[in-house]
Structure 1
């Protein structure tokens, strides 16, 4: 698939034409972001559902809510993560490992930098070029304020990748001793990045943006008692979230009717919370599967057929 056939902005298409070899990584980054979003919110009233529309997320991409903030953050982070992995694997000619760390370290303490440290600089640069182009799509509905918060949240997503990096080491020495250690910097698994962004989502700040689209001056909404400036790694939003309990086709909200819930849980997946007080239906599900399998000489496996009956609860 060429760049011209993709639902991209003109800036994104221009970048795609100049660097077509990055298209697979861009697509993989989008898939990673969507998958992690759905994993983090699978038990919530808003479960990061996607649509068949070109924008994938539909209304949520331009609503300016906490959910919009998470989408922009996790999508930007996914692109950084995938591109950086490709760089470290040698699949992108324009980047590689972080060579600035080679040869330094602390020899007196018995360790030095070596191996292949993940270099997130190129992935971060590409994410800014590509993801911030999509942030500008909000101008038609939300204006400069929404562009500013979308770009801020994309940057917060990139910061999350940097903030979760770790230093890994390997020991060298005679008979397994650790006389010398070689250390390198590694990105965390993307699940940890997603979990950090979910925490940022829970603590997100409602703001009012000041200045033009290029300016990022934001401050907490006047009704808020908070007086601390908004940090670069925080998620921010403009508008309160809609009621995700009931279906609203105009807003693309699917509601929670028919969603599976847990009767015993007091968390967000519990029937009381997920079903929004409407109650739930209980169905008995019959399940048949192979069990007690044994290897018989020679040469086949003999199993029993086990049947189980389980309750399944769905929201009314």
Structure 2
């Protein structure tokens, strides 16, 4: 998996200088916060971060939300790379301030997933901060308090996650950025697509929530249950969005399409579906102009028939086999007193990489 960030000092210096002088050039995006350290973002402050004008104003008004914004970006990028780790496109990032480069404006299924997972990550991070009591503007969702079913012996209580606040902030923060993003598709139709997919990502948080309960009673009995609503782990949200990605719907660019009216009537896009304009490239060969890393050198599974299999991942080019030595601690025993004694076990394994 290729993941580049500001790990090299001179790259960091150039990137920060670029953002400080011209925050919106090079299609800079708030997603950059997900690949940089918290110290850097705090040092730059709201005025010099790669934010749109509306985002900077919102950041100035609510600076206490900056850590949640950064956590949301990190959460989303990490989950994107986890879900696509075995795919030809493995959600690689670059040192470019836009983070995803061409994929951010390509109008493909990958663009759809990026916008959905980033919006979901922001909802999740802000909502989690609310539930933990880290923010003064929000807390637990108290709307359900006092309700429930007395006949069935349970009632709402505890701390239900307040996703309404997180969803509101995600809409306010992300949609304002999309309106200021320059595109190669004339603006409006790509704008609508990105907003639709961002909203689908937010709805994914709601659709994956669960009801948790705790029993109360004498001697461990469950005479009464207290229940609350809680967000799923973000890994579950990632799985849900990956499924939406696999079943995403291609729509036409309204500025160009010449489809018949009956074809237009047949197309129904649910608000929970991801939509895209353009077919994805095959991601097999490196294309620097499009920010495609290619699959050369990627590790593959010779026996797998899935996307991580050498045939699919290497695009039929074949693969190289290397023998690697793996050294691990084994047969560990506790010795009185007080340390653990282990043997060093070596094994020779085959590693396959795409040609």
Q: Tell me, yes or no, whether TM beats 0.5.
A: yes
| Cα displacement (A) at 1:137 | 4.3
* Cα distance in 2, alignment partners of residues 288 and 78 from structure 1: 37
Cα offsets for 1:44-100 (capped at 9, x unmatched):
000000010001111100101000000000000000001001001111111111111
1:291-310 equivalences under 5 Å are 291-310=330-349
1:89-100 equivalences under 5 Å are 89-100=132-143
Out of 291, 297, 316, the position equivalent to 1:277 is 316
Count of matched residue pairs: 309
Out of 39, 47, 57, the position equivalent to 1:4 is 47
2:91 aligned with 1:52: no
* Cα distance in 1, alignment partners of residues 246 and 277 from structure 2: 15
> CA 1:182 to 1:273, structure 2 compared with 1: closer, same or farther past 3 Å?
same
Q: Is the 8 A contact 1:206 1:221 kept in 2?
A: no
Q: Is the 8 A contact 2:161 2:231 kept in 1?
A: yes
| Cα displacement (A) at 1:298 | 3.2
Aligned to 1:214: none
2:270 aligned with 1:231: yes
2:195 aligned with 1:151: yes
Q: Is the 8 A contact 1:149 1:209 kept in 2?
A: no
- TM-score, with length taken from structure 2: 0.83
Tell which deviates more after alignment, 140-149 or 186-195: 140-149
Out of 234, 259, 267, the position equivalent to 2:306 is 267
Q: Is the 8 A contact 2:105 2:183 kept in 1?
A: no
> CA 1:224 to 1:65, structure 2 compared with 1: closer, same or farther past 3 Å?
farther
1:204-219 equivalences under 5 Å are 204-210=248-254
- Unpaired segments of 5 or more residues in structure 1? 212-217
> CA 1:222 to 1:150, structure 2 compared with 1: closer, same or farther past 3 Å?
farther
* Cα distance in 1, alignment partners of residues 260 and 251 from structure 2: 5
* Cα distance in 2, alignment partners of residues 21 and 221 from structure 1: 51
* Cα distance in 2, alignment partners of residues 19 and 291 from structure 1: 52
Higher strand share: 1
Q: Is the 8 A contact 2:93 2:100 kept in 1?
A: yes
Aligned to 1:16: 59
| Cα displacement (A) at 1:15 | 0.5
2:282 aligned with 1:243: yes
* Cα distance in 2, alignment partners of residues 188 and 195 from structure 1: 11
Q: Is the 8 A contact 1:161 1:187 kept in 2?
A: yes
* Cα distance in 2, alignment partners of residues 133 and 56 from structure 1: 18
2:207 aligned with 1:168: no
* Cα distance in 1, alignment partners of residues 340 and 221 from structure 2: 46
Tell which deviates more after alignment, 30-39 or 131-140: 131-140
SS in 1 for 2:282: coil
Q: Is the 8 A contact 1:208 1:221 kept in 2?
A: no
> CA 1:285 to 1:240, structure 2 compared with 1: closer, same or farther past 3 Å?
same
* Cα distance in 1, alignment partners of residues 260 and 161 from structure 2: 38
2:85 aligned with 1:42: yes
2:158 aligned with 1:122: no
* Cα distance in 1, alignment partners of residues 133 and 292 from structure 2: 42
Cα offsets for 1:15-43 (capped at 9, x unmatched):
00110000000000000000000000000
Cα offsets for 1:161-184 (capped at 9, x unmatched):
000111111111111111111110
* Cα distance in 1, alignment partners of residues 309 and 262 from structure 2: 32
SS in 2 for 1:109: coil
- Alignment RMSD: 1.9
- TM-score, with length taken from structure 1: 0.94
